[in-house]
Structure 1
Amino acid sequence: MINFRYHVVSLTAVFLALAIGLVVGTAALNGPVADSLKENVNALRKDNQQMRQTVNSLQKELDMEEDFAAETAPLILPGKLTGRRVLVVSLSTGREHTEGVVKMLQLAGANVTGRIDIQDKFISPDSATNNNLLELAVTAARPNSVPTGNLPGNGHGVETSSALLASVLLDRPAGSPPVTDADRKVVLQTYATAGYLTSENNKVAGPAEAVVLVTGQPYVDKDSAKKDESVVKIAEQFDHNGALVVGGMGSAGGNVVAVVRGDPVLSQTISTVDNANTVQGQVVTALALVQQLTEKKAGQYGVGDNAAGGLLPKLPQ
């Protein structure tokens, strides 16, 4: 029979073995293994410092490029859009750089007839929103000068309302009845009251001949695909009524810049700039509009891989 003394001796031997193992393991780590770990940590620390220096250098270079673009803009743009009537339409994704786009258009001499800020509610895929937009376009907001036969009849609220807005904010086709300033104001007021857009004093100084649509990166929520599709429909309807340049941010995913560039039909009539969030891109946005109005030519510009036109349009001297 195993007695209590045997158990004590056995347990003592086990704990002694564990203690010896800890001592030996610690000694081993304090040798070559520890030295190797320290070398790896030091190497990673140096790599991190070098990366920080590279990032700081690139940021400084980008800031200098922005300054260069801002300083050269007054030499490039003045007079390029003198007498041209331009409407600026912005979406929430491009709101932050809309002011910069407007500034460059005005520097080029454009008469900015107005600025319309489309709210996210306008592109919501909710069925109630669709029905409300359709009702506004067909009855509540539509002036007599825009017959319902001139609007899309497919029941898509965003598309129909975009067509109505384009009809009253841009030049009318030859032979069509003109839209009065009073009618134009009523249309804007109706959509603004319903929360679909905002416009300073709900006033636009007459019809425009061209539009700059300022957007940003694609939406990322669960309804992103439908929202991006609605933005494309807005662009299509304004393109039907006048020259159109999309000043965007990025050219991947489902944003309107990417869609236009991937569409062989839309890319023939709609110009895109994929870096309009920068001063360089804002200058190019104005130049792309010059090309649209003077050469009747669309181009895809910026820094994206699908910018077939390069960094900026090659305008005739």
Structure 2
Amino acid sequence: MINFRYHVVSLTAVFLALAIGLVVGTAALNGPVADSLRENVNGLRKDNSLMRQSVNDMQKQLETEEDFIGEMAPLVLTGKLTSRRVVVLTLPSGRDQTEGVVKMLRTAGADVTGRVTVQDKFVNPDSNNNLLELAVTAARPNSAPTANLPGNGHGVETSSALLANVLLERPAGSPTVSEADRRSVLQKYAEAGYLTPEDRITGAAEAVVLVTGQPYVDKDSAKKDESVVKVAEQFDRAGAVVVAGMGSTGGNLVAVVRGDPVLSQTISTVDNANTVQGQLVTSLALAEQLTGKKAGQYGVGDNAASRLPKLPE
């Protein structure tokens, strides 16, 4: 029969073994294993510090390069767009790069007749009927031609055609839109929350720069991206167009234009307009459109023809 003393001795042996194990294990860790772990941790810390320094160096290099491009811009752009009238239309995803694009246009001598920001509501599928009604009734100006407005029931397309009519100059022989009607149309769209004029429109432009960015990613993304293309198509029918974008994949406007054999013949694109380099190239691409009557696809994407238009010798 196992007595109480036997249990005490057994438990004592177990606890003694655990204590010996802890002492031995601690001693082992305090030896080569601990030294190895310390070396690994120190190595990782050093690698992390080096990578952080590398990122900082690259960021400084990028900033230096952009500063250099900014300083070179007057030498490259001066006179390229002198007295050319340009309206800047910012699509919802392009707000961050608009100021840089406008700065380069003015450096090139362009007369920026105005800046208009399109709101997300404009390309929302739920706005279709309201946009259609606004274009054919409420906002229709007396002096702007409406016979060429699309009659397919697409609100964004019809409203874009009307806005192109009033923001861009009409072909020779066509009625001239009065300043009062131009202001009235923009005011009605602004009051309805579809766009925001950033400053006073000073007259009809001969070209438009569409500033855009990445495609939509929500549940209505396909319809919204299609509407963005409709905006570009209607302004392309009325005047010279350069799309100043960010990236050239994923179905954004730059990618769609470059992938369309018809649009790519008349619409120029720049896929890095979020950088100083791309903003400078946007002005060069517009000059090529207006003086050479030629469209080109520029930037750093795989589907770009070159980084910038060929400068005259």
TM-score per shorter chain, which class?
over 0.9
CA distance in 2, matches of 1:252, 1:226: 17
What aligned pairs does 1:54-69 form with structure 2 within 5 A after superposition?
54-69=54-69
Conserved in 1, the CA contact under 8 Å of 2:117 and 2:198? no
Shift of 1:270: 1.3
Structure 1 counterpart of 2:310, from 291, 297, 314:
314
- In the other structure, the counterpart of 1:166 is 164
Counterpart code for 1:10: S
Secondary structure of 1:252 counterpart? coil
Deviation string, structure 1 residues 274-301 (Cα, Å, up to 9, x no partner) = 2212222111110000011111111121
Q: Do structure 1's residue 236 and structure 2's residue 241 form an aligned pair?
A: no
Shift of 1:306: 2.4
- In the other structure, the counterpart of 1:258 is 255
What aligned pairs does 1:179-198 form with structure 2 within 5 A after superposition?
179-198=177-196
Q: Do structure 1's residue 85 and structure 2's residue 81 form an aligned pair?
A: no
- Distance change >3 Å, CA 52–CA 185, structure 1 → 2: same
CA distance in 2, matches of 1:268, 1:44: 53
User: TM-score scaled by structure 1?
Assistant: 0.91
CA distance in 1, matches of 2:2, 2:266: 97
Secondary structure of 1:80 counterpart? coil
CA distance in 2, matches of 1:36, 1:3: 49
Secondary structure of 2:112 counterpart? strand
CA distance in 1, matches of 2:16, 2:91: 73
- Distance change >3 Å, CA 16–CA 265, structure 1 → 2: farther
User: TM-score scaled by structure 2?
Assistant: 0.92
Q: Do structure 1's residue 151 and structure 2's residue 127 form an aligned pair?
A: no
Counterpart code for 2:298: Y
Structure 2 counterpart of 1:285, from 277, 282, 299:
282
- In the other structure, the counterpart of 2:212 is 215
Q: Do structure 1's residue 8 and structure 2's residue 8 form an aligned pair?
A: yes
Shift of 1:224: 3.3
- In the other structure, the counterpart of 1:94 is 94
Conserved in 2, the CA contact under 8 Å of 1:291 and 1:315? no
Conserved in 1, the CA contact under 8 Å of 2:145 and 2:165? no
- Distance change >3 Å, CA 228–CA 24, structure 1 → 2: farther
Secondary structure of 2:174 counterpart? coil
Shift of 1:196: 0.9
Counterpart code for 1:272: T
- In the other structure, the counterpart of 1:137 is 135
Q: How many residues align?
A: 313
Q: Which runs of no fewer than 5 residues in structure 1 stay unpaired?
A: none
Deviation string, structure 1 residues 38-81 (Cα, Å, up to 9, x no partner) = 22212212211221221122112111111111111111111111
- In the other structure, the counterpart of 2:267 is 270
- In the other structure, the counterpart of 1:17 is 17
Shift of 1:236: 1.6
Secondary structure of 2:310 counterpart? coil
Judge which range, 167-176 or 103-112, deviates more: 167-176
Secondary structure of 1:150 counterpart? coil
Deviation string, structure 1 residues 206-229 (Cα, Å, up to 9, x no partner) = 221110011123334443333333
Counterpart code for 2:128: N
CA distance in 2, matches of 1:302, 1:90: 19
Shift of 1:234: 1.3
CA distance in 2, matches of 1:10, 1:227: 77
Conserved in 2, the CA contact under 8 Å of 1:251 and 1:306? yes
Conserved in 1, the CA contact under 8 Å of 2:270 and 2:297? yes
Shift of 1:175: 3.8
- Distance change >3 Å, CA 200–CA 94, structure 1 → 2: closer
Shift of 1:145: 4.4
Deviation string, structure 1 residues 112-147 (Cα, Å, up to 9, x no partner) = 11111111221223x2x2211111112111224455
Judge which range, 211-220 or 157-166, deviates more: 211-220
CA RMSD, Structure 1 to Structure 2 (Å)? 2.0
Secondary structure of 1:244 counterpart? strand
